[in-house]
Chains A and B, each alone.
Chain A
Amino acid sequence: MPPPRPEALDPGHGQAKPINGPRLLWSPDGGTLVVSGHWTTLTLAGLGAMPPRPDLRSPHGRMTAGPAAEASASPPLAEPLTVHWDPSSAVPMDMPPTRATTVTLDGRGLMALDTAGALQLHRLTEAIALQGMAVQLSGFAAPHLSLLALVRERLAAAAEGLAAIPPPSRPPVLERVGRGSWDWLLQSLGLLSFVGETALAFLRVLAHPGRLRWRQILQVVELDGWRALPVLGMLSFLVGVVIAYQSGVQLRLYGGNLYVVDLVTLTVLRELGPLMTAIVVAGRSGSAYAAQIGTMMVTDEIDALRSIGVSPLELLVLPKALGLILALPLLTVFANLAAVIGGMVMSALMLDLVPETFIRRIPEAVTLNTLMTGLAKAPVFAAAIAIVGCYQGFLVRDGADSVGRHTTTSVVQAIVWVIVIDAAFSVVYSKLGI
């Protein structure tokens, strides 16, 4: 059985009876250091009720050590101390001038000691030893002595390893920039190879169409297409309202109210419809893909799939990509419709343009081509969102933290890619003169 442990702490610290914090007193000749009070994690941290700190530079002489130390178990508060010591700082020194070659640590007044306290005492003896004096322990209870010995022994045994640990430091700016750029380059290359792998997996599945997972694809269409309708419809409607309002304010000045139809339908069909849809879906679904695959990475489910002989690309990535490629153009049509209706409502309210006139004007403003140039972007957006989301999921390593980081990255990257691709389309269209 272990030795009984001195009761360390009052449970109601700070409220019930006060506890003596760790205390140190020098004898006048500097030969004895009296250790008393509770030396525990909590009292060292000032959490046990500590007596208020006495005036350290009191002019009244010094306390004597030895027998009087016993009385220091509950010293009067105003008692002059010779030790300048903040228990939360490293080590108290301020040793009285002395010719003694040995310092005796007197532990008779020590009431509780845990490993943090023992460590503090150990550091204290080290500091005294650094002054060229030997340290002697006296009057410590047996369990306290063995705890001190344990701490000393463990630290000594590991001294070499401890010395080898470099102090914590931040790498210099140049190194961080370099590492950051390198990581970015690797990730970009990784994304490129992931696109390639997905394309290859797609070709393999095309060769064996039976392996196409229609269930999963339709599930994606439902979850990421059908369920996105309400939020997408509302957002698009409002965007249509805003465009009609902004252009209406200007057009009214020139009496060109009717041209609001041209502005709304052109911007929505060619640009904003596909773009809004892609951004909403990137936020809704791209992040979900990253989180799902990331969590599966953490729980080794991806490896489990591989071990069963199922390619995660075929099971997880392809259905998502294909499903989204199906769903996004449909969503775009819906978003276009909602936005045009929004524009129509705003025009009726602000410009007194009755819906009938609005609708009659649409065929003159846009052609089927306009709609198709917008819709053509949607599948490309969809592929980019699905692939970026899944790729970020596969990058997750060890832990919840990483899942969160990569989910965020997936959304940011997906939106960046969507806009970059949109710009590329614009360049191509302008070259082709569409």
Chain B
Amino acid sequence: MRGIRTCFGAACIHEDLDLDVRPGEILALVGASGCGKSVLLREMILLAHPTAGRVLLFGEEAQDLDETGANRLRRRIGITFQHGALFNSLTVAENIAVPLKEQTRLPAQRIRDIAMLKLLLVGLPPDAASKYPSQLSGGMHKRAALARALAMDPDLLILDEPGTGLDPVGAGALDDLILGLHQSLGVTVVMSTHDLDSLWRVADRVAFLGRRRILATGTPAELSAREEPELMAFFQGPRGSARSRAWNRG
């Protein structure tokens, strides 16, 4: 993304923002609440349009595409939303099958087969397939959303706050899952997060969003050593420093 500028009326949340995602990495996007992480992610998958600037997806200029072109690119991207956004009127298996049904002409039997595999890949038990989203626990809900994001075997996986609302054990298990999927499927992951634990654990690289642009990028260890006040507050605050001490101890 180059020179991104996003304004809502007079209020600009991004100003001349640049961000690169390298193939095969896990990039964590962090920053204070309300600094525009989710908006940036939505711009990445062409659900929202920046006021100015360019978005390049898989080497293609993406912001001028019509709906057909955008959909073609979106097939290669899987996304989970902050609140899961599973379709409540469909079972989990049907939820996972939606992208396959809409985007491909595979026969129903094969789609069911693939959907079930995705369900197992995200560590859900087979009997979750016929449940409705409202019958799932928070962690299972997140996993089901992840399975839907993986339905088309995307090259790029975008996760908006995957661990929010989970207990530490559940969030840790989800981190493991993301790492495992990343390793076995080789998918590129961009995630926004507030969770310092998952930041240290999962991310190859961290991009820090502050003062309306990307203040810094680097490994978690690099960023935690930086001097900017925002970064200091994030990494050296009471919660951050405990975490990085633990990390440094190994």
Residues of B116-173 at the interface with A, using a CB-CB cut-off of 8 Å, are 116-118, 120-121, 125-127, 129-130, 132-134, 150-153, 155
B104/A3 in contact, CB under 8 A:
no
Q: Which residues of B contact A400 (CB under 8 A)?
A: 88-89
Task: Answer yes or no: A154 CB below 8 A from chain B CBs.
Answer: yes
A161/B126 in contact, CB under 8 A:
yes
Stretch at the interface among A114-122, A303-311, A331-339, A382-390: A114-122
Q: Which residues of A contact B233 (CB under 8 A)?
A: none
Quote the shortest CB–CB distance from A413 to chain B (angstroms): 21
Quote the shortest CB–CB distance from A411 to chain B (angstroms): 20
Task: Answer yes or no: B109 CB below 8 A from chain A CBs.
Answer: yes
B153/A115 in contact, CB under 8 A:
yes
Q: Report the Cα distance A123→B127, complex, angstroms.
A: 21
Residue of A nearest to B118 (CB): A115
A116/B107 in contact, CB under 8 A:
no
Q: Which residues of B contact A398 (CB under 8 A)?
A: 88, 132-134
Q: Report the Cα distance A11→B71, complex, angstroms.
A: 11
Residue of A nearest to B126 (CB): A161
Write out, one digit per residue, whether chain A residues 150-184 have a CB within 8 A of any chain B CB (1) or not (0). 11001101100110110000000000000000000
Q: Which residues of B contact A17 (CB under 8 A)?
A: none
Task: Answer yes or no: B75 CB below 8 A from chain A CBs.
Answer: yes
Task: Answer yes or no: A94 CB below 8 A from chain B CBs.
Answer: no
Q: Which residues of B contact A431 (CB under 8 A)?
A: none
Q: Which residues of B contact A114 (CB under 8 A)?
A: 153, 185
Among A2, A9, A157, residue most surrounded by chain B Cβ atoms (within 10 Å): A2
A116/B114 in contact, CB under 8 A:
yes
Q: Report the Cα distance A44→B106, complex, angstroms.
A: 8
Write out, one digit per residue, whether chain B residues 34-74 have a CB within 8 A of any chain A CB (1) or not (0). 00000000000000000000000011100000000000110
Residues of A248-297 at the interface with B, using a CB-CB cut-off of 8 Å, are none
What is the size, in residues, of chain B's interface with A at 8 Å between Cβ atoms? Answer: 46
A41/B60 in contact, CB under 8 A:
no
Known: A1-B24, A114-B153. A150 touches B127 (CB 8 A): no
A11/B60 in contact, CB under 8 A:
yes
Task: Answer yes or no: A238 CB below 8 A from chain B CBs.
Answer: no
What is the size, in residues, of chain A's interface with B at 8 Å between Cβ atoms? Answer: 44
Known: A42-B104, A88-B106, A150-B184. A162 touches B88 (CB 8 A): no
Q: Report the Cα distance A391→B61, complex, angstroms.
A: 52
Choose among B125, B134, B152, B204 the residue that contacts A41 (Cβ–Cβ < 8 A). Answer: B152
A11/B104 in contact, CB under 8 A:
no
Task: Answer yes or no: A57 CB below 8 A from chain B CBs.
Answer: no
Q: Which residues of A contact B185 (CB under 8 A)?
A: 5, 114-115, 147
A4/B126 in contact, CB under 8 A:
no
Q: Which residues of A contact B110 (CB under 8 A)?
A: 44, 88, 90
A42/B186 in contact, CB under 8 A:
no
Q: Which residues of A contact B24 (CB under 8 A)?
A: 1-2, 4-5
Task: Answer yes or no: B194 CB below 8 A from chain A CBs.
Answer: no
B184/A164 in contact, CB under 8 A:
no
A162/B153 in contact, CB under 8 A:
no
Task: Answer yes or no: B76 CB below 8 A from chain A CBs.
Answer: yes
Q: Which residues of B contact A42 (CB under 8 A)?
A: 75, 104, 152
Q: Which residues of A contact B191 (CB under 8 A)?
A: none
A165/B153 in contact, CB under 8 A:
no
Task: Answer yes or no: B113 CB below 8 A from chain A CBs.
Answer: yes
A11/B72 in contact, CB under 8 A:
yes
Choose among A12, A119, A143, A165 the residue that contacts B114 (Cβ–Cβ < 8 A). Answer: A119
Quote the shortest CB–CB distance from B77 to chain A (angstroms): 11
Q: Which residues of A contact B150 (CB under 8 A)?
A: 115
B117/A151 in contact, CB under 8 A:
yes
Q: Report the Cα distance A345→B113, complex, angstroms.
A: 69
B88/A11 in contact, CB under 8 A:
no
B186/A40 in contact, CB under 8 A:
no
Q: Report the Cα distance A45→B25, complex, angstroms.
A: 28
Choose among B72, B120, B151 the residue that contacts A155 (Cβ–Cβ < 8 A). Answer: B120
Residue of B nearest to A9 (CB): B76
Quote the shortest CB–CB distance from B131 to chain A (angstroms): 11
Known: A11-B76, A398-B88, A401-B88. A5 touches B186 (CB 8 A): yes
Residue of B nearest to A163 (CB): B126
- Given A8-B155, A154-B117, 7 more contacts at CB 8 Å? A5-B187, A8-B153, A9-B155, A90-B110, A114-B153, A162-B126, A399-B134
Query: Top 9 closest A-B pairs, CB basis?
Result: A399-B88, A45-B104, A5-B186, A398-B134, A161-B126, A114-B153, A401-B89, A154-B120, A2-B183
Interface of B toward A, CB cutoff 8 Å: 23-24, 58-60, 72-73, 75-76, 88-89, 100, 103-107, 109-110, 113-114, 116-118, 120-121, 125-127, 129-130, 132-134, 150-153, 155, 182-187, 204
Interface of A toward B, CB cutoff 8 Å: 1-5, 8-9, 11-13, 40-42, 44-47, 88-90, 114-116, 119, 123, 143, 146-147, 150-151, 154-155, 157-158, 161-162, 164-165, 397-402
What are 29 A-to-B residue pairs whose CB atoms are below 8 Å?
A1-B24, A3-B186, A5-B24, A5-B185, A5-B186, A11-B59, A11-B73, A12-B72, A40-B153, A88-B105, A88-B110, A114-B185, A115-B121, A115-B153, A116-B117, A119-B113, A119-B117, A143-B186, A146-B184, A154-B117, A155-B117, A161-B125, A161-B127, A164-B127, A165-B127, A398-B88, A399-B88, A400-B88, A401-B89
